[in-house]
Chain A
Amino acid sequence: MTSAIAVDGLEVIFDRFRALKGVSLDVQPGESFGLVGESGSGKSTLLRAIAGLAPVASGSITVNGKTLGARRDKAFYREVQMVFQDPYGSLHPRQTVDRLLQEPLAIHGFADGEKRIQRALDEVGLGNGFRFRYSHQLSGGQRQRVAIARALILEPSILLLDEPTSALDASVQAEVLNLLEEVRRRRKLTFLMVSHDLAIITHMCERLMVMQSGEAVENLAAADLVERRVTKDYTRNLLRASDGFVRTA
């Protein structure tokens, strides 16, 4: 079976700073794969490199059996879409929800735009009342739902999720995570999800990779992490930190 995403020896260099130092990754179709690490670990860079938003110095990225060049073609964006971390920064401030959702349809020449927009809004639980609002008239959770609708409207098979809930309140986070799980089940999507929160990754993903300063620390199944069957100290530290503060008397 061809992998949904296969990354091999990927290096990303920003002005002499090596953000990724030869990372490899393999995600099966329909799988949900997590990337965990602290700031500067390169987890978001890896995601952006796959999306074509980071300068790849060497290594290869293969999506659904097709090895990607420096430039992505339109067909790629029909397969891979992304949801960004900051719901306040990822929606154009001067466009209504309607306009935001129309743009991808116009670019790819879909004729049945009206129906698709309706359906996309229904799918993320927003309905028609939100269609002609500007982003400043929406809450953080609603914005993230719009961003998810925008990512889904081209019917991709792979969704890249860059900390999609870290800017949201806990109760809203739960709603958005549930929504993501639901659309994944319904559309049989492949997820590649970045988070600093181990609990979210174990909740959402089957397998995960722990990263630190641009390198992979270890690959684990979510079940291993739950059972605390980890081999590296760094992962153990992360696990301990996620338990909260422990007073050493």
Chain B
Amino acid sequence: MSGDPNQQRSKSALLDVEDLRVTFPTRTGLIEAVRGVSFSLGRERLGIVGESGSGKSQTGRAIMGLTPPQARISADKLAFDGIDLLSVSPRERRSLRGKRIAMILQDPKYSLDPVMSIGRQIVETLRTHEKVGKAEARDRALAMLEAVQIRDPARVFDLHPHEVSGGMGQRAMIAMMLIAGPEMMIADEPTSALDVTVQLDVLGILDRLVGERGMGLIFISHDLRLVSSFCDRVIVMYAGKVVEQLKASELGRAQHPYTRGLLNCMPKIGADRHPLPVLDRKPEWAA
């Protein structure tokens, strides 16, 4: 793998975000999707939670450099391992992407190339980032498929994305993203399209690989409970802003009424609450 993880672990923050703003021009004026988000990421699992329109996905995309071209990004600081992401050339940005920063999206069907076999996609990804021979690349791809707990890697290697199930596709996606040995991964709703039981398998794999490699993970999701059971730290976003940052284990002691309301309004097995408490949105939360 590229770089010695132990050597890089010594640095404190992998990613530094300060006052990140993403603005979209529309016919009726400017819409601020992200309005001054600041956080830093070490080699940990950080969850970003919010409802639709909270700006959580746009935050992830801005870090990846996948913001649509018409949008404007500004930040006091957006640095990955000391590299200022806003001032690097598009070329350098591309080589960072995949090599050192990886991203997993919700539906593998849209992010895998439909006309290329899964194995070849993994091999191609590896070979664009590292100078390795064909045979070695293939071996490493197979090993990677095994690492994401695909039982018959040699068979799956030759399959096309449409020939595998959603869970299998997402595992292949993780394999592809991890093959170049990135130091940071952004996962945007990586398991929302999957069945609950498959979801846990995939999370287990992700958890193990992230732990073993000492990667930083940003886990973006709408599911506050899932995130809190999976991550070390949670950022709660509302209307483009961070309303609360807290340790996942201390979610029960959340201060902000939005976080508490979000936790409260979900039905729980065994909690007999009729009607369910609903969220009373206060305008000052968005202020």
**Interface positions of A (Cβ within 8 A of B):** 38-39, 140, 169-175, 177-178, 181-182, 196-200, 202-204, 225-226, 237-239, 241-248
Interface string of B187-229 (1 = CB under 8 A from A): 0000000011111100110010000000000000011111011
Q: Please choose the segment from B70-78, B150-158, B174-182, B270-278 that sits at the chain A interface, where 4 or more of its residues have CB less than 8 A away.
A: B270-278
- For the complex of A and B, the 7 pairs showing the least CB-CB separation, nearest first, are A203-B267, A244-B229, A174-B265, A38-B195, A171-B279, A169-B51, A178-B275
Cβ–Cβ contact A181 & B275, under 8 A? yes
Cβ–Cβ contact A245 & B267, under 8 A? no
Interface string of B233-250 (1 = CB under 8 A from A): 000000000000000000
Cβ–Cβ contact B196 & A242, under 8 A? yes
Cβ–Cβ contact B265 & A199, under 8 A? no
- If over half of A's interface residues share one DSSP class (helix, strand or loop), that class is named, otherwise mixed; here it is helix
Known: A178-B276, A241-B199, A245-B229. A171 touches B261 (CB 8 A): yes
**Interface positions of B (Cβ within 8 A of A):** 51-52, 166, 195-200, 203-204, 207, 222-226, 228-230, 261-262, 265-270, 273-279, 281
Cβ–Cβ contact A178 & B268, under 8 A? no
Cβ–Cβ contact B51 & A203, under 8 A? no
**Shortest distance between the CB of B219 and any CB in chain A (Å):** 10
Which residues from chain A contact B228 at a C-beta distance below 8 Å?
244
Cβ–Cβ contact A182 & B275, under 8 A? yes
Cβ–Cβ contact B197 & A241, under 8 A? yes
> In whole angstroms, how far apart are the Cα atoms of A9 and B129 in the complex?
57
Which residue of B is nearest A182, CB measured? B275
> In whole angstroms, how far apart are the Cα atoms of A62 and B237 in the complex?
49
Which residues from chain B contact A225 at a C-beta distance below 8 Å?
269
**Shortest distance between the CB of B4 and any CB in chain A (Å):** 25
> In whole angstroms, how far apart are the Cα atoms of A38 and B198 in the complex?
10
Cβ–Cβ contact A245 & B269, under 8 A? no
Q: Which listed residue (A39, A170, A202, A241) contacts B265, Cβ 8 A?
A: A170
Known: A177-B276, A226-B270. A171 touches B196 (CB 8 A): no
> In whole angstroms, how far apart are the Cα atoms of A238 and B200 in the complex?
11
Known: A169-B52, A170-B266. A245 touches B203 (CB 8 A): yes
Which residues from chain A contact B51 at a C-beta distance below 8 Å?
169-172
Cβ–Cβ contact B267 & A199, under 8 A? yes
Which residue of A is nearest B203, CB measured? A245
> In whole angstroms, how far apart are the Cα atoms of A38 and B199 in the complex?
11
Cβ–Cβ contact B278 & A175, under 8 A? yes
